[in-house]
Amino acid sequence: MKLYDLEPSGNCYKVRLFAALTGIKLELEAVDFLAGMHKQSPVIDLNPWGELPVLVDGEISLRDSHAILIYLAKRYASADWYGETAAEQAEIQQWLATSANEIQHGPGAARLVDKFGYDLDKGRALGTASRVLGLLESHLSNNRWLACDRPTIADCAVMPYVALAWEGGITLDDYPAIQHWIGRIKALPGFIPMSGL
Amino acid sequence: MKLYDLEPSGNCYKVRLFAALTGIKLELEAVDFLAGMHKQSPVIDLNPWGELPVLVDGEISLRDSHAILIYLAKRYASADWYGETAAEQAEIQQWLATSANEIQHGPGAARLVDKFGYDLDKGRALGTASRVLGLLESHLSNNRWLACDRPTIADCAVMPYVALAWEGGITLDDYPAIQHWIGRIKALPGFIPMSGL
């Protein structure tokens, strides 16, 4: 099973982290992003979006980090990670949505501006970040994990760009519950870091 | 089962449409958005994000249209709509991601600017829309449905803001495969429209 990977991508790290936590073996294929290799064969053939990560498992190829998390969890990991009931999977999906939306366009976008020079609206990103971090802090003040009272793919999806927020000039000083939650994830058996985290 | 609903919201329509296609009975509770009722009790208590739709089914309350689609599909509809295998659910999830990301921030955002006067970057929205509509056209030139060779929640999630693109000044004239796909969805038994569609 091969993961087309980019080390500093939080979206790629979500997959590497989940695989590490669950003992899933991935062959990492580093893609030279600066050389534009994600827009060329073989990546563009596997994913017309030209984005990373891409997972290839036999005949199956998947784009989008959250789709990959669901695939790996459901096929290769304990059912705890994605749940089995409609209620649990929907509860987890709410946080995948938050990750794809407010987290990506808040702290994720601020980091793209500061660290990689992307032409995005930094002010809007900071506003989105402030709002979602407040909601996250409130939730984590009453819950040890994002969903289902246990570690799930929701934590793997949301944590990376929150923990990397400082690279977009955003401090977590005012969010102690978020800091403690990041600490709990870091303490999970098998945890691996990425650069900046 | 109650849906806190806003008629002109494409995200609310995704849920109403899916329920109609599958014969799920929803009690619709119209929320007065202009009066800010989505930021007040009971909606804000059910969903701290202060957004619609919100579904309440007994003890369960859910925010996010895609989480609601997964819940309804898995709990109350034929397994065809969300699949049962890891590969099918991940294939569908890829399109939920596209809906939440490029569709929402492309044609969805352009519509918010033109129809509702939101202060968003229309130029960026049009660029995102052009890119994703091209990818969608290419995919639908070779596939009758977005995922799994059959109607799924992916179609319910992606179609609304694509079919409403004209309200953001975006024409589908150059995308015949997308037009035919919208037509196939409209021909499904139980289909219901929304204003503008």
**Cα end-to-end span (Å), chain B:** 26
Tokens in use for A136?
Answer: 């996250």
**Residue B121 at interface with chain A, using a CB cutoff of 8 Å:** yes
**What is the residue whose two structure tokens read 């859910």?**
B62
How is chain A split among helix, strand and coil, in percent rounded to 5? Answer: 55, 10, 35
Q: Measure CB to CB from residue B94 to each of A62, A89, A97 and give the nearest one.
A: A62
Segment B109-137, tens digit of pLDDT: 999 999 999 999 999 999 999 999 999 99
**Residue B75 at interface with chain A, using a CB cutoff of 8 Å:** yes
8 Å CB contact between A28 and A3: yes
**What is the residue whose two structure tokens read 């705890």?**
A80
Domain with CATH 3.40.30.10 in chain A: 2-80
8 Å CB contact between A2 and A59: no
**Residue B97 at interface with chain A, using a CB cutoff of 8 Å:** yes
Residue B50 — very low, low, confident or very high, per pLDDT cuts 50/70/90?
Answer: very high
**Residue A51 at interface with chain B, using a CB cutoff of 8 Å:** no
Taking alpha carbons only, the member of A69, A178, A190, A101 closest to residue B109 is A101
Residue B89 — very low, low, confident or very high, per pLDDT cuts 50/70/90?
Answer: very high
Domain with CATH 1.20.1050.10 in chain A: 83-186
Taking alpha carbons only, the member of A161, A192, A191, A157 closest to residue A14 is A157
Instruction: Report the complex ipTM.
Output: 0.96
Tokens in use for B45?
Answer: 């208590």
When the pLDDT of each residue in chain B is averaged and rounded to a whole number, the result is 97
CA separation for the pair B29, B36 (Å, rounded): 15
Distance from CA of B196 to the nearest CA of A (A): 25
Largest CA distance in chain B: 47
Instruction: Classify domain A2-80 by CATH architecture.
Output: 3-Layer(aba) Sandwich (3.40)
CA separation for the pair A128, B197 (Å, rounded): 30
Q: Measure CB to CB from residue B89 to each of A74, A90, A104 and give the nearest one.
A: A74
Residues 124-163 of B with CB under 8 A from A: 135, 138-139
CA separation for the pair A66, A72 (Å, rounded): 10
- Mark yes or no for CB contact A100/B97 under 8 Å: yes
8 Å CB contact between B61 and B29: no
Query: Can you give the pLDDT at residue A93?
Result: 98
Best of A11, A93, A113 to substitute, by most chain B Cβ atoms within 10 angstroms, is A93
Q: How far is CA B93 from the centre of its chain?
A: 13
Considering the four listed CATH numbers 3.20.20.140, 3.30.70.3190, 1.20.1050.10, 3.20.10.10, the one that applies to the domain covering B83-186 is 1.20.1050.10
**Residue A113 at interface with chain B, using a CB cutoff of 8 Å:** no
Query: Can you give the pLDDT at residue A129?
Result: 98
A109's CB contacts (< 8 A; 6+ apart) are A118, A120, A121, A122, A124, A125, A128, A168
Segment B25-44, tens digit of pLDDT: 999 999 999 899 999 999 99
Q: Measure CB to CB from residue A94 to each of B67, B104, B105 and give the nearest one.
A: B67
- Mark yes or no for CB contact A101/B104 under 8 Å: yes
Q: Measure CB to CB from residue A101 to each of B71, B100, B121 and give the nearest one.
A: B100
Query: Can you give the pLDDT at residue B109?
Result: 97
Q: Measure CB to CB from residue A93 to each of B67, B85, B105 and give the nearest one.
A: B67
Query: Can you give the pLDDT at residue A22?
Result: 98
8 Å CB contact between B19 and B26: yes
Segment B154-190, tens digit of pLDDT: 999 999 999 999 999 999 999 999 999 999 999 999 9
DSSP string, A50-76: --S-EEEETTEEEESHHHHHHHHHHHH
Distance from CA of B101 to the nearest CA of A (A): 7
Segment B67-79, tens digit of pLDDT: 999 999 999 999 9
CB atoms within 10 A of CB A33: 15
Query: Can you give the pLDDT at residue B107?
Result: 98
How many interface pairs between A and B have CB atoms less than 8 angstroms apart?
88
Q: Measure CB to CB from residue B89 to each of A63, A70, A85 and give the nearest one.
A: A70
Residue of B nearest to A55 (CA): B90
Q: What is the pLDDT along chain A (197 residues), one digit of tens a residue?
A: 999 999 999 999 999 999 999 999 999 999 999 899 999 999 999 999 999 999 999 999 999 999 999 999 999 999 999 999 999 999 999 999 999 999 999 999 999 999 999 999 999 999 999 999 999 999 999 999 999 999 999 999 999 999 999 999 999 999 999 999 999 999 999 999 999 99
Query: Can you give the pLDDT at residue B147?
Result: 98
What are the C-alpha distances in Å from A143 to residues A52, A137, A147, B32, B60? 31, 10, 8, 31, 17
Residue of A nearest to B63 (CA): A94
